[in-house]
Structure 1
């Protein structure tokens, strides 16, 4: 009954009544604001004590977690074990890196994971920024891991050198250095994850900082239980819970004196603002944590709906995609949808505002917007998004003596020895052309894309013409221009493939032989 009462106090409801050892039930996690449906099954250990043996998500395949003796386990361990299970953070079989600074949070994380039976590898960073205090922390974690027979890796860092090399602040340098090392250590030790000690209070601070700086819905979801190989098993407990757990287990820890200084925004929020807020609004911690959970659920739904809209509006193209303008106009919040679609390509909110103004006013055809990696061109019916990196910038050497070209285009080549009285084989000068066989004597024949400034001599016309002017006459879109191929012999354009042949190497009465090139579907 004590076991049942614990789960009832932490979860909304049982779908199958608890009936003792061997019973299986479904629950929804209320305390952690995570509504993932899970199954827990109870059995007995060799000594007859109840143990948690399996947990699985009904929508996926079952997975195993650590066999944990529930009898005599305090609520803190119960809570963390359940949080790990409900969020599929860790498995029993592989080791896990536990980041260990020596502070209360990281010491509690190390102790919990060890008590739950995981194979823990501790990782400590010494940035040498706090003099003797940094060395004190290292001595403490070495003694702690030795006492509990836990493998420990320690890394010394030159933060000042990193700041100079990368041009970043000390805070960013420390962050980059430690996470780069943690990931390298994870790979070297074949560990399943890197466990960090962020707890519920940290999550509330992140939520508040993002809200005060200004953010969208994603910024209000706080820190997530998992982010790639980074896992946060303690997000379900508070700093007070952690200190109580350590006190009950007579486990000491060290304190970073810089955490007590209010010269950075997070410390000021933690030490000044939030205590005042909690004093004026009792229960605000639980309310804020619940709000973060609700916002995370809303964001998941939001992302799903955006993905559905993206599928409906966007058509994949070579080197990018097109967005239907008429389709965009059909949404009430065109701006936010466009921003969500273009954000991964590096476009800013302000640029999206300008784009929406143009398409709303049915104007701006040809207007170009640039991000660091992509170009967007406003067309008549679509927005064309293209990578700035030309994946087909190379030249493709062509041998016109072969029967077929297969890359980058499929072009059929035929050779004829005489024009004859009937004249040359019919060609249209667009999809198919004829060239005097003298072209075979050229040193270098290639297919390449159009480049700014390209000129050619159109067949049937005097003089030369910019290829870009031909594109304008043909009313080609920016993407069509970018993906058009040119056949070039020793630097002279012979064919704007699919659109126009040049007058060079044209077949005449004096031609003894010729070749035809036909663009295949």
Structure 2
């Protein structure tokens, strides 16, 4: 395949509008991203390059940065480099190294896309990455959307190499005399994707020749099926902000229909199943929270609103069973004799069974002026002071839930429990609450 044929294979007529504007290229220095940059430049696209240095591979990380600086200087491509402290981000937000790097990378890419006036962020995912994503989602458990894989254009993320196999890329670079760097950790099997890539998929290909091509065909079929499904879903629920309950309940698989309409807002299957069950039982007043939206069940409609418009929202909960929304709290009651060692006071707490006598138990967000009587301390403390002691940032404070019973704050979920309804040692009549991650 010559150079022109390779270009025609990658870029479609639908890409012309994108390529007529500046593009921000995610440039690691590896074969895929270097090939992407060279292909875009050869196609006449005006490019900016963005390089992330996570400092996770010592001198090799610095080698990569030196390489991309030299490459961009030679190609006359503006380059932006950012240094990240992954460990600090994990301490603040939790999660794996992989997840931390992904969140840091894409947040910064979007900031730079806006700053440089670029149309999209071009990333170098290829056909092999698509197959790996299919299996990772399959083994994790997913639906048709997850199995349909990565989209060529998803919002501001553009993946023009999804039709190109990984083995074709070094051949292209060799043909144009372009070098690249290799990440030594790609050969290590510390991460799930690497184990899949280096161990599992070669066995599948050996036992089932041409399996990758067939899987890619399947992904394409699933993508078409998903597009058709979403067209039908949108026809059935034309207004996601105000959903007509009688019309929804008249549909087959109403909870699945509701989930597909609202999943992009962060609502999960369990919440949609509970909402439909409550609607069938005419339980108006129920509420379900996604990260940035709230679902209200009224008599005739399900209304969706941004949480930012509901600063004082309070969600009634029942502590006689596990709480699934807006956060997952597992609850056990018939417990062995109580010992303080059973709790950590943060994500695993205990309260006397008399808590169930309260008239109103809710989960709500923090409000200025909220106070808690922390277990083990005298008197009360402003929740804002607790946040300051914990050095929580704005997002962490915003995302924290409080457990309130009859006006008293009993638990700042994940951080501190109240002395109210404290359990006596050896008591067997108590509730053990565990905040699930």
- TM-score band by shorter chain is 0.5 to 0.7
SS at match of 1:374: strand
Residue correspondence of structure 1 range 12-411 to structure 2 within 5 A: 73-81=3-11, 83=12, 85-87=13-15, 90-92=18-20, 94-311=21-238, 321-325=242-246, 327-344=247-264, 346-357=266-277, 363-366=281-284, 368-372=286-290, 373-377=293-297, 379=299, 382-385=300-303, 387=305
If the length of structure 1 is used for normalisation, what is the TM-score? 0.55
Question: CA contact under 8 A between 2:237 and 2:248: conserved in structure 1?
Answer: no
- CA distance 1:251–1:369, shift in 2 (3 Å): same
Task: Please give the alpha-carbon distance, in whole angstroms, between the structure 1 residues aligned to 2:265 and 2:16.
Answer: 31
SS at match of 1:173: helix
SS at match of 1:337: helix
Task: Please give the alpha-carbon distance, in whole angstroms, between the structure 2 residues aligned to 1:199 and 1:215.
Answer: 21
Cα offsets for 1:410-468 (capped at 9, x unmatched): xxxxxxxxxxxxxxxxxxxxxxxxxxxxxxxxxxxxxxxxxx9xxxxxxxxxxxxxxxx
SS at match of 1:282: coil
Q: In the TM superposition, what is the alpha-carbon distance from 1:359 to its structure 2 partner?
A: 5.5
Task: Please give the alpha-carbon distance, in whole angstroms, between the structure 2 residues aligned to 1:124 and 1:342.
Answer: 34
Task: Please give the alpha-carbon distance, in whole angstroms, between the structure 2 residues aligned to 1:278 and 1:392.
Answer: 52
Q: In the TM superposition, what is the alpha-carbon distance from 1:214 to its structure 2 partner?
A: 1.1
Q: Which has the higher helix share?
A: 2
- CA distance 1:369–1:181, shift in 2 (3 Å): closer
Q: In the TM superposition, what is the alpha-carbon distance from 1:191 to its structure 2 partner?
A: 1.9
Cα offsets for 1:74-118 (capped at 9, x unmatched): 43222123x3x33556233x3211111111101111111111121
- CA distance 1:321–1:288, shift in 2 (3 Å): same
Task: Please give the alpha-carbon distance, in whole angstroms, between the structure 2 residues aligned to 1:393 and 1:260.
Answer: 49
* Structure 2: tracts of 5 or more residues without a match: 313-359, 361-437
Q: In the TM superposition, what is the alpha-carbon distance from 1:142 to its structure 2 partner?
A: 1.8
Question: CA contact under 8 A between 1:89 and 1:225: conserved in structure 2?
Answer: no
Could you tell me which residue of structure 1 aligns to residue 347 of structure 2? none
- CA distance 1:134–1:346, shift in 2 (3 Å): closer
Question: CA contact under 8 A between 2:30 and 2:181: conserved in structure 1?
Answer: yes
Point out the structure with max Rg over C-alpha. 1
Cα offsets for 1:150-201 (capped at 9, x unmatched): 2222222222222223233322222222222222222222222211111111
SS at match of 2:242: strand
Task: Please give the alpha-carbon distance, in whole angstroms, between the structure 2 residues aligned to 1:118 and 1:390.
Answer: 39
Q: Which has the higher strand share?
A: 1
Question: CA contact under 8 A between 1:374 and 1:388: conserved in structure 2?
Answer: yes
Q: In the TM superposition, what is the alpha-carbon distance from 1:393 to its structure 2 partner?
A: 9.0
Task: Please give the alpha-carbon distance, in whole angstroms, between the structure 1 residues aligned to 2:204 and 2:308.
Answer: 54
Cα offsets for 1:285-327 (capped at 9, x unmatched): 111111111111111111111011002xx6x8xxx524233x3
Task: Please give the alpha-carbon distance, in whole angstroms, between the structure 1 residues aligned to 2:59 and 2:229.
Answer: 49
SS at match of 2:189: coil
Spell out structure 1 runs of 4+ moving beyond 6 A.
none
Q: In the TM superposition, what is the alpha-carbon distance from 1:366 to its structure 2 partner?
A: 4.1
Question: CA contact under 8 A between 1:207 and 1:219: conserved in structure 2?
Answer: yes
* Structure 1: tracts of 5 or more residues without a match: 1-5, 7-71, 395-451, 453-521
- CA distance 1:130–1:329, shift in 2 (3 Å): same
Task: Please give the alpha-carbon distance, in whole angstroms, between the structure 1 residues aligned to 2:186 and 2:310.
Answer: 53
Q: In the TM superposition, what is the alpha-carbon distance from 1:242 to its structure 2 partner?
A: 0.5
Task: Please give the alpha-carbon distance, in whole angstroms, between the structure 2 residues aligned to 1:338 and 1:221.
Answer: 20
Q: Quick one: higher RCO (CA 8 Å, sep 6+), 1 or 2?
A: 2
- CA distance 1:132–1:392, shift in 2 (3 Å): closer
